[in-house]
Amino acid sequence: MENKTLLYAGMIAALVAFLAALMMGFGVPLPAGEVTWQPSYPPTALADFVRPITAYPDQMLRFFAADSLFVMSYLMVFAALYGVMPGRVRPLALVGFGAGILTALFDATENGFFITYALLARQATPLPDPPLTLIFMLSYLKWAASFTTLYAYGLVLPRNTRLSWVVAGLMLLFPLVGVLSIAWPGLTDLRGLFLLLGMALFAAYFWQQASSRQ
């Protein structure tokens, strides 16, 4: 019964993460001329970094409200995945969960910079020079930790249904595309698509696993 509750909790968290990702992608439209609400990867010039913050602080805050919900929710998904792993694969599952915690920590810290600057801009307070190298490094570490998380979980996810094979395959493909996007930055946008599709598949996976339990 406890295991089934954990699976349903993971399903709910994955659905919330999916909705939060949709809000980030489509709920806060980018103004003409802007490329992203989060100009921390790939690294950019100082003027390009601060422009959306100072020009559109309210929209920036809405975007990062959704992003904050996404961070909290995917951490719950990673916790639920760890909880349903068989004991014999716990060493790798622990690596996955530990990397997932780091992903959320780096992500929330990175978000904190944008939220703080947007709040200052909203009050017409002059912005201090942002520590761009630190912010860019946090963004890289966030992605590197997320690649590690899904790599570890993808290796040990129990494959007892077709859906579980699809989910495991996607988790293993994500770090491959992720590291390739370091060499070919044009692939970077695929990272977000992987996470959006991944959260929908995680929700389906948790529901399927819970439905099969007595």
- pLDDT tens digits, 122-160: 999 988 888 999 999 999 999 999 999 999 999 999 998
Q: pLDDT for 48-107, tens place per residue?
A: 999 999 999 999 999 999 999 999 999 999 999 999 898 889 899 999 999 999 999 999
pLDDT above 70 for 2? no
Per-residue pLDDT for 214 more than 70? no
**Mean pLDDT across the chain:** 94
Taking alpha carbons only, the member of 104, 130, 136, 108 closest to residue 50 is 130
Distance between CA 120 and CA 47 in Å, rounded? Answer: 17
**Average pLDDT, integer, range 31-52:** 89
Output 59 or 35, whichever has higher pLDDT.
Answer: 59
CA distance 181 to 84: 31
Residue 171 sits at the vertex; the CA angle it makes with 167 and 177, to the nearest 5 degrees, is 135
